[in-house]
Amino acid sequence: MWVPVAGLPPRLTLSASSGAGRFCIWRSGAARWKDVPARNRRGLADFQPQLLPGQDFRELPSRRSKCGLESKRYLTSPRLAETVVQFLLKEDDPCKLILECNPGPGVLTQALIQGGARVIALESDKTFIPHLESLGKKLDGKLHVVHCDFFKLDPRSFGAVKPTVDSRVLLRDLAIETLPWSKGIPLKVVGVFPAKNEKKMIWKFLHDIYSCTSLYRYGRVELNFFMKETDCQKITAGPQSGSLYQALSVLWQVACEVRLLHREPWSSFDKYTGGGQLEKPECRESLEQQTQQNLCFTQFTPRRNLFTQNLTPVNYDVFFHMLKHCFLKRNAKLIHQLHSLSTVDAVDILKKIKQKRTTKVTDMYPSDFKRLFEAIERSKDYSCKWLYDDFMEDVIV
């Protein structure tokens, strides 16, 4: 809930504010938490998102891509497919349900099924659909093929991304069961991040995890993606990593156990145009190839203890705001950032989280930032705990 300052109208959410430089006071996240059922307040140990009715799922036409950035990369190496299977299908892991994004020729698909998995293949290029369906008929019903774009699943900017795919309808039709957050992994997602929209997808998944929306209505869905090495370095960075350590690093490491499983050269992936044709060498002029980056196969497993009494799917956006604000001046002392971020006693908060007045933002580990946020949320002597400047809403880090 917003408390109007200097005659400003009441604000309800961060995204509702507009303009630049307006200054507001935000009440404790507990005020927004009071209407959440009591069973979900106890650290969300038994949190189980409720499914909502959605529109009918329809097969969506693909748009023919042009040579260049719009082309897609597919895993076509049998050797690499076997490596991925070894990481995803372990004997002591009960989750054998895999959602594969853009399988293309189906090299990894076949290796996964041979390894004992049940695979749901979401392919955006209709050219590959007949081959995948034919493959499914030979594999005793262990492969289900759907023509849709996984990376357009539940877009957060409604109306900006078309066509859209509703995960509630898609997974309901596939009979995917919901698991409480405290239980195991309901399904695993594997694929290659699209080079053009990788950063947007990285942030979208973060919002989905913390808000328990999209795939995370079903529980702690595990992501396994090949991604650019530079982005992987940022996500896995720590306080000793210099400029690589940023709000993005903290958010991912607080939300998930992040593991770099494997590095693979770009050359191991074939690039196809929208018509399912292997791209000619002279067309391969993308920035990624010019810099000769590796692709990092990275695993993101949501933590059972992500949510607590003070960090919830209701107030997570305040946590995002706090981190973005702190990392705007990454070399500043934390106490100075707190003075401009919160109305609570900064010195007292630092004592509670066992940090010194001289502690800098980049001295803090991800777990320290989570304890900082929770300490401010627990403060009982303040009805208004957070200060918010509209400028922060448009900051991208």
User: Do 108 and 204 fall into the same domain?
Assistant: yes
Same domain, 273 and 320: no
Q: Indicate the pairing of strand 23-27 with strand 118-123.
A: unpaired
CATH number, domain at 189? 3.40.50.150
The pLDDT of residue 234: 97
Inside any domain, residue 384: no
Half-sphere CA count of 14, side-chain side, radius 13 A: 19
Distance between CA atoms of residues 36 and 116, nearest Å: 40
Residue 51 lies in a domain: no
Would 307 be classed as within a structural domain? no
Average pLDDT over residues 10-37: 41
| HEC assignment per residue over the chain | CEECCCCCCCCCCHHHCCCCCCEEEEECCHHHHCCCCHHHCCCCCCCCCCCCCCCCCCCCCCCCCCCCCCCEEEECCHHHHHHHHHHHCCCCCCCCEEEEECCCCCHHHHHHHHCCCEEEEEECCHHHHHHHHHHHHCCCCCEEEEECCHHHECCCCCCCCCCCECHHHHHHHCCCCCCCCCCCCCCEEEEECCCCCHHHHHHHHHHHHHHCCHHHHCCCCEEEEEEEHHHHHHHCCCHHHHHHCCHHHHHHHHHEEEEEEEEEEHHHEEEECCCCCECCHHHCCCHHHHHCCEEEEEEEEECCCCCCCCCCCCCHHHHHHHHHHHHHCCCCEHHHHHHCCECCCHHHHHHHCCCCCCCEHHHCCHHHHHHHHHHHHHCCCCCEEEEEEHHHHHCCC
Give the range of the structural domain holding residue 230, as residue numbers without chain letter. 72-302
- pLDDT score of 10 more than 80: no
pLDDT digits (tens, 9 = 90+) for 64-101: 434 444 568 889 999 999 999 999 998 888 999 999 99
pLDDT of residue 279: 57
341 is in an annotated binding site: no
Query: 169 with 244, same domain?
Result: yes
Write down the pLDDT at residue 92. Answer: 86
Domain boundary among 261, 276, 302: 302
Cα-Cα-Cα-Cα dihedral of 355, 358, 360, 366, to 10°? -10
pLDDT computed for residue 166 by the predictor: 85
Query: Which residues have a Cβ under 8 Å from the Cβ of 124 and sit 6 or more positions away?
Result: 62, 72, 102, 147, 148, 149, 150, 151
In this prediction, residues 366-389 reach a mean pLDDT of 89
Same-domain pairing of 194 and 237 = yes
pLDDT at 3 over 60: no
Residue 43 pLDDT > 70, yes or no?
A: no
For residue 133, being part of any structural domain is answered with yes
- Each residue's pLDDT tens digit, 296-336: 999 999 999 999 999 999 999 999 999 999 999 999 999 99
Is 298 within the bounds of a domain?
A: yes
Same-domain pairing of 242 and 363:
no
pLDDT at 277 over 60: no
Which pLDDT score, from 0 to 100, does residue 348 have?
A: 94
How far is CA 225 from each of CA 69, 91, 307, rounded to the nearest angstrom? 18, 21, 24
Number of domains in the chain: 2
Q: Do 246 and 272 reside in the same domain of the chain?
A: yes
> What is the chain's mean pLDDT, rounded?
79
Sign for the CA dihedral angle at 152, 158, 163, 168 comes to positive
Task: Say if CB 341 and CB 386 are below 8 A apart.
Answer: yes
Q: Would you place residue 188 in the very low, low, confident or very high pLDDT band (cuts 50, 70, 90)?
A: very high
Given a contact cutoff of 8 angstroms between Cβ atoms, the answer to whether 301 and 220 are in contact is: yes
Nearest-angstrom CA–CA distance, 48 and 345? 36
Q: What is the pLDDT of residues 139-165, one digit of tens each?
A: 878 999 999 999 998 887 655 445 567
Residue 252: per-residue pLDDT:
98
Higher pLDDT, 137 or 157: 137
The string of pLDDT tens digits covering residues 198-219 is 999 999 999 999 999 999 999 9
Whether residue 259 sits in one domain with residue 353: no
Dihedral sign of CA atoms 353, 354, 360, 365 in order: negative
- In this structure, the answer to whether residues 278 and 321 fall within a common structural domain is no
Strand partners of residue 97: 118
Does 265 lie in the same domain as 194?
yes
Question: Residue 149 annotated as binding?
Answer: yes
Give the residue, 44 or 278, on which the prediction is more confident: 278
- Both 110 and 236 in one domain: the answer is yes
d(CA 22, CA 4) in angstroms, rounded, equals: 11
Of 223, 238, 214, 191, nearest in space to 365 by CA: 238
Among the candidates 246, 271, 302, a domain finishes at 302
Q: Is residue 61 part of a domain?
A: no
Same domain as 135, residue 96: yes
Which is more confident, 182 or 7?
Answer: 182
pLDDT value, residue 292: 59
Pairing label, strands 256-265, 294-302: antiparallel
Among 57-61, 129-133, 140-144, top mean pLDDT goes to 129-133
This prediction's pTM: 0.80
What CATH number does the domain containing 366 carry?
1.10.8.100
Residues 245 and 364 in one domain: no
C-alpha distances out from residue 365 to 229, 259, 309, Å: 22, 17, 21
34 or 163: which carries more pLDDT confidence? 163
For residue 393 the two structure tokens come to 């809403």
Mean pLDDT of the region 114-135: 93
Under 8 Å between Cβ of 198 and 296? no
Q: Is the pLDDT of residue 271 over 80?
A: no
User: Do the annotations mark residue 377 as ligand-binding?
Assistant: no
394 neighbors 32 (Cβ within 8 angstroms):
no
